[in-house]
Amino acid sequence: MADERVLREALLAAARGMSEAGLNVGTSGNASVRWQDGMLITPTGLKAEDCDPGDMVFVDASGQAHGERAPSSEWPMHLGVYADRADAGAILHAHPPFATALACHRLEIPPFHYMIARFGGSTVRCARYATFGTAALSAAVREAMHDRSACLLANHGMLVSGRDAAHALDMAIELETLCEQYWRALQLGDPVLLSQAEMDEVMDRFAGYGQPQENPS
């Protein structure tokens, strides 16, 4: 298991990276990394650029926060995804322009581009709407994330999981890029979609893609 200090620094770097990439503005969004029986998560109401690694909050598996800072209000959503996905080492939640625009129309992202397969299937689902920070939102996200590493949140934003904080940031940037591409394609009408067979072939090729111990997701 990685050193706690290293994880705290990586988590803060990813949170700042979301702001630098334009995925979040101000205090919006949140990020976490798996740690011990729970997670380290960004604090509520603080800009990432105003935080230091010590501000990251440990929340155990029961939902109990430890430390001086209060955790992000979205901690139930993060904890739920970790419970479901043993492969998730980090989770990022953001409100970027294009993903949020699609989420406000409650649209899933169909297989208009083969890179949709990077997120575990032929679509990126949109979780049903629920108030932020609630058990209902956590349940909706867990459903949408089944067999996936990303989803949109209706009238809200996006969520991605990754092997670690840096990988999750890459995934979040990739998802927002695909959302922008899909939005632009829609300006010309409905794009031509790849078939399930074509997406299955992509998934098979992704399984053996990259250097040893790596893959595109």
Q: For the segment 169-191, what is each residue's pLDDT rounded down to a tens digit?
A: 999 999 999 999 999 999 999 99
pLDDT digits (tens, 9 = 90+) for 16-75: 999 999 999 999 999 999 999 999 999 999 999 999 999 999 999 999 999 899 999 999
Domain assignment present for 92: yes
Domain assignment present for 53: yes
Are 191 and 114 within 8 A, CB to CB? no
The sign of the dihedral angle between the CA atoms of 201, 202, 204, 209 is: positive
Active-site residue list: 74
Domain assignment present for 216: no
pLDDT score at 213: 53
Closest to 90 measured CA to CA, from 14, 5, 181: 14
Q: Hey, which bits of 4-89 come out as E strands?
A: 30-35, 38-41, 57-59, 65-66
Q: Say which DSSP state 53 is in.
A: G
Domain count within the chain: 1
Report how far residue 2's alpha carbon sits from residue 205's, in angstroms, rounded to the nearest whole number.
30
Domain assignment present for 121: yes
Domain assignment present for 156: yes
Tokens of 74: 């979205």
- Residue 13: burial class (beta carbons within 10 Å; 0-12, 13-18, 19+): middle
Domain assignment present for 217: no
Which residue segment(s) compose the domain that 18 sits in?
Answer: 4-208
Closest to 160 measured CA to CA, from 26, 169, 87: 169
